[in-house]
Structure 1
Amino acid sequence: MKLLIKQIYDQISKYGLVVIFVLYLLLEIIAKYFHFSKETTNIPMLVKGIILCLVIGLIATRIHKIKNLWLLLVLPVIFVIGQLTINDSFSENSLVIFGKFIAPILFYIIFSEARLNPNYRKITFQIFEWGMLVNSCLLLIGFLFDFNLFESYRGNRFGYSGIFLSPGVASYAYLVTLFYFIIAFKEKVWKNWKFIFIFSSCLFIGTKAIYLGQIILVLYTLTLVKTKYKKLFIALLGIIGAVAAYLFFFKFGLFNKVRETNGLLSAILSFRDRLLLDNTIPYIQENWSFINYLFGGVSNFDLRSQMEVIDIFFFWGILGGVIYLLAYVKHLITFKMNSMLWVFAGLLILIVFLAGNFFVYSTITIFLLMLRERISQLP
């Protein structure tokens, strides 16, 4: 039995990350096809559920070796306490969301125990890069030929995300990909045609998160360039970004219309402030006791604000939210932070504050695992 488990871990270290990356992209395609066909399918959820069960089984075989595992093991207890104190406890919605929250931590653990084999690192990175290049091509095809399947939104709002179902997932995936290239090439990143092509395609995604990320990452890469015009370039780009933000929010377009009718905060947060005031807070007021403020308790997570930091505490409570974040960070960050990584961490935290679904979309986890492997190559 021990030999079989060792062989499984060996295979995961060779092929696991690239297989799971390709598989999750295929699941995104299936989910998006059914979504735009206005039909429903449980295929992606069932496949992900099976994978999650297999991962749990493998982790159980090394339970005595894994550091900080107690943080993960406490989370089901917190979830149960929160559910026992609300009406409609242990609803299908709450159980599914619990699984989605736990999945990233489980993936970080299994791929820490079965780190990518150095002999397979190059092919894994190549498939990842070409996967994003292909999606960028599909994104551009959607824009040029008005192909609805590759749009980010159903309706009149501008945005294309290729095979990604959610524009939020597309934004996170592309931000991670851009930083992956910056990690690999540093100040020479603008000489890499793959990076330039992927960066350019981001302009068509249509989310504020990706545009904010692009501006910050460009400013950061300029700080890496050795030239006497560095400060001038940074100042010009900052001015251009500020002018663009002013025009989009105060002069023309969808965000200006939202600002005029609902206020600047709603325009910046894409009505997430209204979701918080109209859905999240009333649910808390009507259903929560003191225990819930500590351990959470939600029967319908669709009532969330879609501002991720708030949503974590909505689901887990204050104490549970802190423990969840500790577990997430401890199992994701297995490397030493430097100034470059802190820049990306700061950007990601800023966007997570303003946007949602970062922790519950396991596709994002796969991208962060790719980034972690790239970071592991830093000297």
Structure 2
Amino acid sequence: MAKKFLKINLGIKSESIKSNLIFWGIILIFLSEIITNFYVLHYGISFRLTGLLKLLFQGLLFIYVKWSKIPKSIYISFLLLIIIFTINQLIINDFIYKNLLPSFTKGSIYYLNRFLFIFLFIASTLSLKNKDYLINKISRIIDCILIINGILIITGFLFDIDLFKSYPNSSRFGYNGAFNKLSIYMWYIIFLSKLYYNIITEKRSYFLFFFILFASVLTGSKIILFFLLLLIAFHFFQIYRNNKKIIILIVIICSTIGLYSKRILSFYFNYFIFWKNMKDKYSIITMAFSTRDLAIVEKINYIKTHWSGLNYIFGGPFYNNHYKIVEMSFFDVFLFFGLMGTIIYINFLKKWFFGRNLSINILLGLIILCASLAGGLFFNVLSIMYLFVSFYLLNKKLVHAH
């Protein structure tokens, strides 16, 4: 009896230690993002503190995974993506052998590591008995970090503080607080989605929603503005979904906005000096996509030049040193893992992010749509983790309600 009690007690302590290490590991990564962003912007010094911490954190997660206790679909998908990567890098084209060090520091292995992070994170957290408590704790601390950063964004705007600007010493509008501008856009879109769901289901979080909404707009991100338009359309659909006349009106309004999108964007760009000066150099569409449309054309030419028929199945990034990620999520997944890997990744998302509730699934779909147009959601370690913990809790809340 005493041995059994001791075993249970040691097991609880072990679970607690693992949870705390994962929790504090995440906080350290956030802190490293702040430190790195500060030094890059104000001293021009770039160092890989965040990358090193993420690598150590992944090693920790890998050690904590109890593969026998998690669904087979996670590690099968994990292994299949590694096999696909091996095929496209070593068998179809031996690019890694020619460029080993760059592959680890900024190339194909570096991004593979980032793509696979979420598999390890989900596997390790779901291996713990107190997984719900840990996931809730992680979600809450990230929410608090984003609220504090929101205060910094608004403070930066009110007092014109260069330290908190997205583009210091530039006429381009935008405030990112303490973080890298590319990271925070998806974080705030995810946060707004959670708060919006709390409003429509529990009639709470109104003040916090509008506070984060204001801070999000001040980032100057076009993708956040696009998400807000989608959210407004979804909100009216939620309210009037049983009223066919209103739904038809919503469809007409959305279609009209789509038809006159170039004029609307032109009016928006004329309002800001930075974008107004860019109009002579780039088209409206190119400015709307922040030149990502040009990057796609470049990648299509890259595919034509470097890919064989097998690459369409298995992918093939970084076959030359000029290759860069497009930051349009599904396009990047296809380039990296081909059609087969894209199907595996979509199935993984469907299994571990989507639930049974239509409203939650639509919100998640809107986030992924925005990520497909801008932002590297799938290979941004903190963004994809925050997305998982947020929607895991939303779906869990629904299960508990039943």
- Aligned residue in 1 for 2:4: none
Determine which of 128, 136, 141 is the counterpart of 2:155. Answer: 141
Task: Sort the Cα spacing of 1:67 and 1:10 in 2 relative to 1 into closer, same or farther, 3 A.
Answer: farther
Q: Deviations over 1:182-210 (max 9, x none)?
A: 22332665762111211111111111110
Task: Sort the Cα spacing of 1:327 and 1:203 in 2 relative to 1 into closer, same or farther, 3 A.
Answer: same
Matched, 1:163 2:170: no
- Aligned residue in 1 for 2:59: 53
Q: Deviation of residue 29 (structure 1)?
A: 0.4
Matched, 1:97 2:111: yes
- Aligned residue in 1 for 2:3: none
Q: Deviations over 1:275-317 (max 9, x none)?
A: 2223x23332332222222212223585233322211111112
Secondary structure of the corresponding residue to residue 108 of structure 1:
helix
Q: Could you tell me which amino acid in structure 1 is paired with residue 95 of structure 2?
A: D
Which of structures 1 and 2 has the bigger CA Rg?
2
In 1, Cα distance between the equivalents of 2:207 and 2:186?
21
In 1, Cα distance between the equivalents of 2:308 and 2:136?
53
- Aligned residue in 2 for 1:344: 363
- Aligned residue in 1 for 2:83: 77
Q: Deviation of residue 150 (structure 1)?
A: 2.0
Using the size of structure 1 for normalisation, the TM-score is: 0.84
Secondary structure of the corresponding residue to residue 262 of structure 1:
coil
In 2, Cα distance between the equivalents of 1:151 and 1:204?
10
Determine which of 111, 123, 129 is the counterpart of 2:125. Answer: 111
Q: Deviations over 1:173-232 (max 9, x none)?
A: 001101111223326657621112111111111111101112222343345559x99959
Q: Could you tell me which amino acid in structure 1 is paired with residue 31 of structure 2?
A: L
Q: Deviations over 1:93-131 (max 9, x none)?
A: 111111001001211222223365666777655534332
Matching of residues 194-343 of structure 1 within 5 Å: 194-224=208-238, 246-250=263-267, 252=270, 253=272, 254-255=274-275, 258=278, 261-278=281-298, 280-299=299-318, 300=321, 302-330=323-351, 332-333=352-353, 336-343=355-362
Task: Sort the Cα spacing of 1:328 and 1:339 in 2 relative to 1 into closer, same or farther, 3 A.
Answer: closer
Task: Sort the Cα spacing of 1:124 and 1:220 in 2 relative to 1 into closer, same or farther, 3 A.
Answer: same
Q: Is contact 1:142–1:149 with CA below 8 Å preserved after alignment?
A: yes
Secondary structure of the corresponding residue to residue 303 of structure 1:
coil
RMSD between superposed Cα atoms in Å:
3.5
Q: Is contact 2:192–2:213 with CA below 8 Å preserved after alignment?
A: yes
Moved more, 235-244 or 127-136: 235-244
In 1, Cα distance between the equivalents of 2:196 and 2:29?
24
Matching of residues 13-92 of structure 1 within 5 Å: 15=20, 18-36=23-41, 37-59=43-65, 61-63=66-68, 65-68=70-73, 69-84=75-90, 85-89=92-96, 90=100, 91-92=103-104
In 2, Cα distance between the equivalents of 1:361 and 1:368?
11
- Aligned residue in 2 for 1:174: 188
- Aligned residue in 1 for 2:393: 374
Q: Number of matched residues?
A: 372
Structure 1 unpaired stretches of 5+: none
Q: Deviations over 1:133-152 (max 9, x none)?
A: 11101111222233233222
In 2, Cα distance between the equivalents of 1:224 and 1:282?
42
> How many percent identity over aligned positions?
24
Between 1 and 2, higher relative CO (CA 8 Å, sep ≥ 6) is seen in 1
In 1, Cα distance between the equivalents of 2:198 and 2:18?
24
Q: Could you tell me which amino acid in structure 2 is paired with residue 52 of structure 1?
A: Q
Q: Is contact 2:136–2:393 with CA below 8 Å preserved after alignment?
A: no
In 2, Cα distance between the equivalents of 1:65 and 1:326?
17
Secondary structure of the corresponding residue to residue 371 of structure 2:
helix
Using the size of structure 2 for normalisation, the TM-score is: 0.80
